[in-house]
Amino acid sequence: MSRIPLAGRRIWLTGASSGIGRACALEFARRGARVAIGARNTASLESLASEIRSIASGAGGGDSVMVLPLDVRDRRANHDAVAEIVRTWGGLDTAVLNAGVREYVDEDVFDADRIDNAFATNFHGFVYGMEAALPALRQGVKPHLVGVSSAAAFLPLPRGEAYGASKIAVRYLLDSFRLRAESKGLWITSVHPGFVDTGMTSDNDFPMPFLVSSAQAAEAIADGMERRRREIHFPKPLTWTMKASALMPLWLYQFVAPRLIKVPARFQPTPGPS
């Protein structure tokens, strides 16, 4: 498929107040897109909107950003956000469903609340956004649905029971939905970042090989979106290694995997969705 620039596209982006989402909002704006930014932190969204307006003003852009505070775990709020985009901009071309939280599970004190929290945001929040966006996307220009999963979806990792399982669910849903949607003109992309230097990873107590900045992540995502990649994964030295490791016999991987990530003495609470 030929490259489809982001310039002029109407994009809804969730999880936009920090990390990868914030960097993506700025990168999309630099490329000339109009961005509707969603997250719970209204103050952070307003600050981000000011930066986007400055970028758009320098590029001669006009109605460049829309602030849409929401909690993605609220099904109705997702529908209200998309309705506002359609009312204001006349339609929606791309939805980038990015909101997420990290949860680690302690196998000695198994807490189902951690898994519930991961799925509430990372999967159910994604599903609610997808449900809300699809009718508008089908009326949009060269519609594109982008879901941010994780490189953790490529293979099981120690302590990844909650976070990884929720991201695998996102990947499976997108890959399955693509089998029918693509033939009807809706392009589907799944995004699988490795380690990205954000607030979510700042307190990780284990090595994070090939760590990239949020700006590098955003550039990789925007490039992949313009090229209409079905799957975007980065950094490649890490993600290709993980894909190859997934082909190991289970008995061998069972030996190797526990040595990949150090288990901490205590688990700290994880913040809610951005």
User: What's residue 36's pLDDT?
Assistant: 98
- Chain segment 233-246, per-residue pLDDT in tens: 999 988 888 888 88
The pTM score is: 0.88
Whether residue 3 is predicted with pLDDT greater than 80 in this model: the reply is: yes
User: What's residue 265's pLDDT?
Assistant: 39
Higher pLDDT, 271 or 202: 202
Domain 10-259 fold is: Rossmann fold (3.40.50)
- Chain segment 56-72, per-residue pLDDT in tens: 876 545 589 999 999 99
| Domain chopping of the chain, boundaries | 10-259
What is the average pLDDT value for the chain, to the nearest integer?
Answer: 88
User: What's residue 88's pLDDT?
Assistant: 96
User: What's residue 218's pLDDT?
Assistant: 96
* β partners of residue 231: 190
With 0-12 CB in 10 A as exposed, 13-18 as middle and 19+ as buried, what is 221? buried
- Chain segment 144-181, per-residue pLDDT in tens: 999 999 998 998 887 778 999 999 999 999 999 999 99
Q: How many other CB atoms are there within 10 angstroms of residue 109's CB atom? A: 7
User: What's residue 264's pLDDT?
Assistant: 44
Whether residue 138 is predicted with pLDDT greater than 60 in this model: the reply is: yes
- Chain segment 244-259, per-residue pLDDT in tens: 888 888 888 788 776 6
CA–CA separation, 8 vs 18, rounded Å? 23
- Chain segment 92-127, per-residue pLDDT in tens: 999 999 999 888 777 778 889 999 999 999 999 999
- Chain segment 183-226, per-residue pLDDT in tens: 999 999 999 998 787 655 546 555 666 678 989 999 999 999 99
- In degrees, rounded to 5, the angle at the alpha carbon of residue 227 between the alpha carbons of residues 143 and 6 is 55
User: What's residue 120's pLDDT?
Assistant: 97
Which of 104, 163, 172, 253 is catalytic? The answer is 163
Does residue 64 contact residue 94 with C-beta atoms inside 8 Å?
A: no
User: What's residue 157's pLDDT?
Assistant: 80
Q: Are strands 65-67 and 94-97 parallel, antiparallel or unpaired?
A: unpaired
Q: Are strands 94-97 and 144-148 parallel, antiparallel or unpaired?
A: parallel
Tell me whether residue 163 is one of the annotated catalytic residues.
Answer: yes
